[in-house]
Structure 1
Amino acid sequence: MKEKTVIGSTEFVDFGKRAQRVPAKIDTGADSSAVWASNIRIDKDGVLKFSLFGKGSPYYNGKIFKRTDYSVARVRSAMGHEQIRYRTHFWVKIGGRKIKMLMNLSDRSKNNFPVLIGRRSISGKFLVDVSKKNVPRKKPSVAIRLNEEVKRDPYKFYKKYHQKDGEK
């Protein structure tokens, strides 16, 4: 049996020549994987067309990808919202291994990571060490900023976040 590669909760992934060293979040709580895609559409011939990433991303190059080997999935977010998403296969290099991964195409422009890798993609191939993070954090977390704010003036913090309009 082949030994499993240990990866962290964040990793850099390569999409071949399309994009390299793209930050990805490894989420063992997520069933499927997703990549930020834009300009998603299907032409009259049934060909799925899209761009990887979006104009605000340093990984965006504007290239239009065409796929006939795609499917759709009903995806439910952690908040309970359902969406229909297109999905297709990509060859991705992660943890020194090149694997074929089925990924949902979604707008991840507001997420910290343009790629999310779920348990189906890594099952049987990798072990995840959650104490290991291979992508450095660019900005402080919301919790850190909130804790700094509450330390500066706890009463002002309380009024801002907990006191309803009209209460004194």
Structure 2
Amino acid sequence: MKKIIGRRERITLPDWKLKMILAKVDTGAYTNSIHCSYLEEKEVNGKMILCYKVLAPEDRKFKDIIHQTNDYTQKKVKNSFGQAEIRYKVSTKVIMFDEEFEAEFTLTDRSKMRNSILLGRKMIQGRFLVDVSQVNLSQKSSI
């Protein structure tokens, strides 16, 4: 049974220490996207790793945490202005409706955007239905 989500939902990203962060549900976007304030690909012990900082405006205290992974790819995406760009893509755990699942996020500078996190069709499909007249339905289910 698919759960119903609203146009904005609070999600938890435990690997990134982000709890109940507001995310915009965007059925026009294919992949999820999160604001990234620092991004560097470098070689460590002969292996390439990606170092990055993810940040949601309401969690400024985590702004200096640098995450690292060797499990990443690059993806060509169209940004909100319709221009193609290459972004790094990483996977992380997401918690919604007290359920935990793995999801992919592209990392990009969203500092000029209203929403620091977008949830796209790839994560929504097969899992959720969207009711655009509602917000924070996942939060209400856990109360």
Whether TM-score is above 0.5 comes out as yes
Counterpart CA distance in 1 for 2:133 and 2:41 is 41
Gaps of 5+ in 2: 138-143
1:71: Cα distance to partner? 0.2
What's the counterpart of residue 115 of structure 2? 113
In the alignment, residue 93 of structure 2 is paired with which amino acid?
A: W
Q: Give the structure with the larger strand fraction.
A: 2
Counterpart CA distance in 2 for 1:132 and 1:58 is 21
What's the counterpart of residue 11 of structure 2? 13
* Higher RCO (CA < 8 A, seq sep 6+): 2
Gaps of 5+ in 1: 136-168
Name which of structure 1's ranges 38-47 and 4-13 shifts more when overlaid on structure 2. 38-47
Counterpart CA distance in 2 for 1:95 and 1:9 is 15
State the Cα RMSD in Å: 1.6
Give the structure-1-normalised TM-score.
Answer: 0.73
Identity of aligned residues (%): 29
What's the counterpart of residue 126 of structure 1? 128
Q: For 1:15-164, what aligned pairs fall within 5 Å after superposition?
A: 15-16=13-14, 18-45=17-44, 46-53=48-55, 57-60=57-60, 61=62, 62-134=64-136
Number of residue pairs matched by the alignment: 131
What's the counterpart of residue 148 of structure 1? none
Larger-gyration structure (1/2): 1
Where does structure 1 differ by over 3 angstroms across 4 or more consecutive aligned residues? none
Name which of structure 1's ranges 116-125 and 73-82 shifts more when overlaid on structure 2. 73-82
- Contact kept in structure 1, 2:30 and 2:122, CA below 8 Å: yes
